[in-house]
Amino acid sequence: MQDQTTQITILVIISTTIFLLMPIFLVFYIKISIKYRKNHVLEKTAMKQKFDAELLKTQLEVQEQTMQSIATELHDNVGQLLSLTTLTLNSIDLNNTEKAGKKIDNSLGLVNNSIKELRELAKLLHGEQIVQNGIGHAIEQELNWLNKAGVHQLIVSNNLIDLNYTSPDKDLIILRLLQEIINNIIKHAKASVIEVEGYFKENTLYLNVKENGVGFDVEETRGRRTGMGLNSIYKRIEMINGKLALNSSPNHGTTILIEIPYP
């Protein structure tokens, strides 16, 4: 009987202890849960702030490059057209009606070309608007400017023109990626042919750029990601959870394959 009483007493003590400890454990769990949630919110806020800062930096870089392109175009193209217009008009001899008429017609042609170039520049000024019109149009605009230089043979397959999806934040970074890649090709590759392919498949945007330049040793640069703007390219790819495959070898050109979850 005494053993049974002892067992009952022990059970009562254990039950009482558990009953008393339960609120303590519950309070402790709630505190841990609240702390975890706060940390999670802080981490999300920090990540968003970091993304916003990188996005702002990208926007400023795009604007800077846009202004540089405009300055170059104004100086080299529009300025030249207007100078030729001035020279032609100044050389008109009103006493020679036939020649004067031809020079006036030539001047009108030069003025019309200048107006056309200025309209193109006006479009370029609205870089963010171009992105908002879709990444396909933004890529087309960028490649049009590259084609105007007449230095490289371009082979383009841009199947993103009719893309029904848009993601302004990602599109701006994708445009900056393409600009960075093109700048690297111009500065370092010594290429004569540039191939650009863009397409969308299964919620993924693909952008492939291939050139026939001097190439480089990928293994040598893989660990350090320095030089030729590779660090900037990888950084932007990571920002939008993309993937990048880089294939190159000396004297055999370079191919860059980009996959980005989209939109």
Say what the pTM is.
0.58
Residue pair 236/58 in contact (Cβ under 8 Å)? The answer is: yes
What digits encode the pLDDT tens for the residues 109-166?
778 777 777 776 666 555 555 667 789 988 998 888 778 767 889 999 999 998 888 8
Q: What residues does each domain of the chain span?
A: 1-125, 134-263
Sheet containing strand 193-201, strands side by side: 153-158, 193-201, 204-211, 254-261, 243-248
CA distances from 255 to 197, 216, 218, 238, 244 (A): 11, 11, 11, 19, 10
Residue pair 198/158 in contact (Cβ under 8 Å)? The answer is: yes
DSSP state for residue 89 in the 8-state scheme: H
What digits encode the pLDDT tens for the residues 16-31?
777 666 777 777 778 7
Torsional sign, CA 178, 181, 184, 188: negative
- Other C-beta atoms lying within 10 Å of the C-beta of residue 261: 13
The CATH T-level fold of domain 134-263 is Heat Shock Protein 90 (3.30.565)
pLDDT at site 200: 94
